[in-house]
Amino acid sequence: MQYRTYPYAATALPKGPDPAWQRELGTVQGNRTTLLNFNGQQDGSMPPDPTGDVGPNHYVQAYNCAFVVYDKNGTLLDGPTNLNAMFTGLPGGTCNDGDPIILYDEQANRWCVIEFSLCGANDYVLFAVSTSADPAGTYYAYSWDVSDVPDYEKVGVWRDGYYMGTNTGGNTPGSGLADIYVFDRSAMLTGSPANGVGFENPWRVSYYDGFMCVPPIDNDGTFAPVGEPGLFICHADDAQSGL
Q: Determine the pLDDT at residue 127.
A: 97
Residue 93 has pLDDT above 70, yes or no: yes
Q: Determine the pLDDT at residue 47.
A: 82
Give pLDDT tens digits for 100-121.
999 999 999 999 999 999 988 8
**For a pLDDT cut of 90, what percent of the chain falls above it?**
54
SS3 call for 215: coil
* CA distances to 52, 67, 192, 229 from 223, in Å: 22, 28, 23, 11
| pLDDT confidence band for 61 (50 / 70 / 90) | very high
CB 150 within 8 A of CB 166: yes
Q: Output the DSSP codes for 163-195.
A: EEEEE-GGG-TTS----EEEE-HHHHHHT----
Residue 133 has pLDDT above 90, yes or no: yes
Q: Determine the pLDDT at residue 75.
A: 94
Q: Determine the pLDDT at residue 30.
A: 73
Look over the chain and give the mean of its residue pLDDT values, rounded to a whole number: 86
* CA distances to 16, 68, 89, 153 from 99, in Å: 38, 15, 20, 8
Q: In the chain, what is the straight-line distance between the N-terminal and C-terminal CA atoms, in Å?
A: 33
| pLDDT confidence band for 242 (50 / 70 / 90) | very low
CB 60 within 8 A of CB 52: yes
Q: How many CA atoms lie within 13 A of 1 on its CB side?
A: 8
> Comparing 29 with 57, which gets the higher pLDDT?
57
Residue 49 has pLDDT above 80, yes or no: yes
Q: Determine the pLDDT at residue 243.
A: 47
**For a pLDDT cut of 70, what percent of the chain falls above it?**
86
Long-range Cβ pairs for the range 172-177 (8 Å, 24+):
172/206, 172/210, 173/200, 173/202, 173/204, 173/206, 174/202, 175/200, 176/200, 177/147, 177/148
How far out from the chain centre does Cα 152 lie? 8
| pLDDT confidence band for 14 (50 / 70 / 90) | low
Phi-psi region of 99 (alpha: psi -120 to 50; beta: other; left: phi over 0): left
The pair phi, psi for residue 180, each rounded to 5°, is -125, 130
Segment of 126-130, 152-156, 231-235 carrying the highest mean pLDDT: 126-130
Q: Distance between CA atoms of 214 and 237, rounded to whole angstroms? A: 14
